[in-house]
Amino acid sequence: MSHARTSTESARLRFARLLKSERLARGISQEDLAELAGLHRTYVGSVERGERNIAVDNMEALANALGLDISDLLSAPAGDVRKSTR
């Protein structure tokens, strides 16, 4: 079974957007988030811009640093309804 996306936003860009949104909502700088996650601040910036094909381990480290589950940073937008295309 395959799934077609109605949204054109990739998982990488969705993760980047939600990561930045959650970081800003908590008033945390990129530098502070990087330190909490054990990553370099320039790496965090490039992840937030969607420039990195980020490893799952790093996604998890960033989510944990924000007190979130990794799935919270990958959740599809409310309008993104997935349809089965058998």
CATH code at 66? 1.10.260.40
Count of domains forming the chain: 1
* 4 located within any domain: no
Burial class (CB within 10 angstroms; exposed 0-12, middle 13-18, buried 19+) of 56: exposed
The answer to whether the pTM exceeds 0.85 is no
* 83 located within any domain: no
Angle between helices 56-65 and 41-48 (to 10 degrees): 100
For 3, the 3-state DSSP assignment is strand
Q: Tens place of pLDDT for every residue, the chain, 86 residues?
A: 455 555 688 999 999 999 999 999 999 999 999 999 999 999 999 999 999 999 999 999 999 999 999 999 998 655 544 433 33
The residue range of the domain holding 60 is 9-72
* 3 located within any domain: no
| Strand positions, DSSP E, the chain | 3-4, 83-84
pLDDT of amino acid 84: 33
